[in-house]
């Protein structure tokens, strides 16, 4: 996986307004791909508001 993206997603205080649209798309793709290996990752991203922040 993409280490920089993982750090962004794991940092609860990260300001997603500071990154560009392609990077946001990569992060969303990471979340969707991680759901393949960890059931509920996508649901969790919605429940915690991460998707809305992106």
Note the pLDDT tens digit of each residue in 1-54.
Answer: 589 999 999 998 999 999 999 999 999 999 999 999 988 999 999 999 999 999
Number of domains in the chain: 1
**Model pLDDT, residue 52:** 93
Residue 41, burial from CB neighbour count under 10 angstroms (0-12, 13-18, 19+): middle
pTM for the predicted model, two decimal places? 0.85
Which residue range(s) make up the domain with 31?
A: 3-53
**Model pLDDT, residue 1:** 58
């Amino acid at each position: 996986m993409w280490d920089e993206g993982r750090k962004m997603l794991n940092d609860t205080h990260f300001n997603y307004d500071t990154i560009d649209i392609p990077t946001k798309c990569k992060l969303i793709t990471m979340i969707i791909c991680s759901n393949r290996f960890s059931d509920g990752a996508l649901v969790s991203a919605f429940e915690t508001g991460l998707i809305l922040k992106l």
